[in-house]
Amino acid sequence: MSTPITAHEIGKAWLAYITETFLLENGCIRPEVEDEFKRLEDTDAINQERELWRAYTDEMIDRILQTPSDERSQLLAAIDVRSLSFVQDRIQCGTDLLTTLIQKGLKINVGEESALPDFFRQILLQKQA
């Protein structure tokens, strides 16, 4: 039987997970990825671009998540800046969602704590508004 986890606890686990998985030196924190992400955020067509890149971004996220941690940095370095900026967009949307849940003081039943990576994957693959 699972016990609900506070959104605050999930948020802390999310930050650790995202940092270890995507925010590696060669990943989403590269300066050129950050620049492209900021450009993407500032465009009037962000929702249309998200939808155009949806399937490819989903594939990139799954590919990154399935790559063993010791090989992930090399994979991230090989992914183009534009693709990683859309991955960064998904991370930001997930962070925004969890921030809202934390502010509301919610508890979430995600199953066992070991189920958090699957829960985080679901957040990353959700359709962004």
Please write the tens of the pLDDT for every residue from 96-105: 999 999 999 8
Give CA separation, 20 vs 43, 86, 114, in Å: 29, 18, 16
Please tell me the pTM assigned to this model.
0.90
Please give the biggest Cα pair distance in the chain. 46
The CB density around residue 86, as the number of other CB atoms within 10 Å, is 22
Q: What are phi and psi of 92, to 5 degrees?
A: -65, -40
The three-class DSSP label of residue 45 is: coil
For the stretch 32-41, pLDDT in tens is: 999 999 998 8
